[in-house]
Structure 1
Amino acid sequence: MPGRKTQREQAKEMLWDRGIVRLSEFKSAGITAATIGRMRDDGDVIRLARGLYQLPDAPLDANHSLAEAAKRVPKGVVCLTSALAFHELTDQLPRSVWMAIGKNDWSPQDEPALRIVRFTDTLLAQDVKTTSIEGVPVKVFAVAKTIADCFRHRRSVGQSVALEGLQEALRQRKATPAEIARSAASGGVSTIVRPYLEALTANG
Structure 2
Amino acid sequence: MEPAGQSGGGDGSLARLPATFSYSEALAAGVSEWRLYRLRDQGLIEALGRGLYRRRDAETADLDLVEAARRAPAATLCLTTALARHGLTDEIPARIDVALPRGRHRPLVVAPVAWHWFDPTTFQIGRTELPLDPDTSIGLYSPERSIIDAVRLRHREGPDLAYGALRRWLGRRGASPSRLLGMARSFPRAERPLREALEILL
Using the size of structure 2 for normalisation, the TM-score is 0.81
SS of the residue 1:198 aligns to: helix
C-alpha offsets along residues 20-40 of structure 1, whole Å, 9 cap, x if unaligned? Answer: 333343244343444322211
Runs of at least 4 residues off by over 6 Å = none
Between the aligned partners of 1:87 and 1:8, the Cα distance in structure 2 is: 44
Tell me, yes or no, if the aligned pair for 1:143 and 1:174 is still in contact at 8 Å: no
Taking structure 1 as reference, are residues 76 and 110 closer, same or farther at Cα in structure 2, changes over 3 Å only?
closer
Taking structure 1 as reference, are residues 147 and 8 closer, same or farther at Cα in structure 2, changes over 3 Å only?
farther
**Which residue in the other structure is 1:195 paired with?**
196
Tell me, yes or no, if the aligned pair for 1:8 and 1:35 is still in contact at 8 Å: no
Taking structure 1 as reference, are residues 43 and 142 closer, same or farther at Cα in structure 2, changes over 3 Å only?
same
**CA displacement at 1:112 relative to structure 2:** 6.0
Q: Which shifted more, 40-49 or 63-72?
A: 63-72
**CA displacement at 1:64 relative to structure 2:** 4.7
RMSD: 2.5
Using the size of structure 1 for normalisation, the TM-score is 0.80
- Give runs of aligned pairs for residues 7-26 of structure 1, distance below 5 A: 9-15=12-18, 19-26=19-26
**Which residue in the other structure is 1:121 paired with?**
120
**Which residue in the other structure is 1:151 paired with?**
151
Amino acid at match of 1:94: P
Tell me, yes or no, if the aligned pair for 2:72 and 2:107 is still in contact at 8 Å: yes
Between the aligned partners of 1:145 and 1:190, the Cα distance in structure 2 is: 12
Taking structure 1 as reference, are residues 20 and 110 closer, same or farther at Cα in structure 2, changes over 3 Å only?
closer
Between the aligned partners of 1:105 and 1:172, the Cα distance in structure 2 is: 36
Structure 1: runs of 5 or more not aligned:
1-5
**Which residue in the other structure is 2:3 paired with?**
none
Q: Which has the larger radius of gyration?
A: 2
- Give runs of aligned pairs for residues 127-146 of structure 1, distance below 5 A: 127-135=126-134, 136-146=136-146
Q: Does 1:89 align with 2:92?
A: no
Tell me, yes or no, if the aligned pair for 2:16 and 2:29 is still in contact at 8 Å: no
Q: Which shifted more, 94-103 or 27-36?
A: 27-36
Pick the structure with more helix per residue.
1
Structure 2: runs of 5 or more not aligned:
1-8
Tell me, yes or no, if the aligned pair for 2:127 and 2:139 is still in contact at 8 Å: yes
**CA displacement at 1:8 relative to structure 2:** 6.4
Q: Does 1:36 align with 2:36?
A: yes
Aligned length: 192
Taking structure 1 as reference, are residues 173 and 187 closer, same or farther at Cα in structure 2, changes over 3 Å only?
farther
Taking structure 1 as reference, are residues 89 and 24 closer, same or farther at Cα in structure 2, changes over 3 Å only?
farther
Taking structure 1 as reference, are residues 74 and 25 closer, same or farther at Cα in structure 2, changes over 3 Å only?
farther
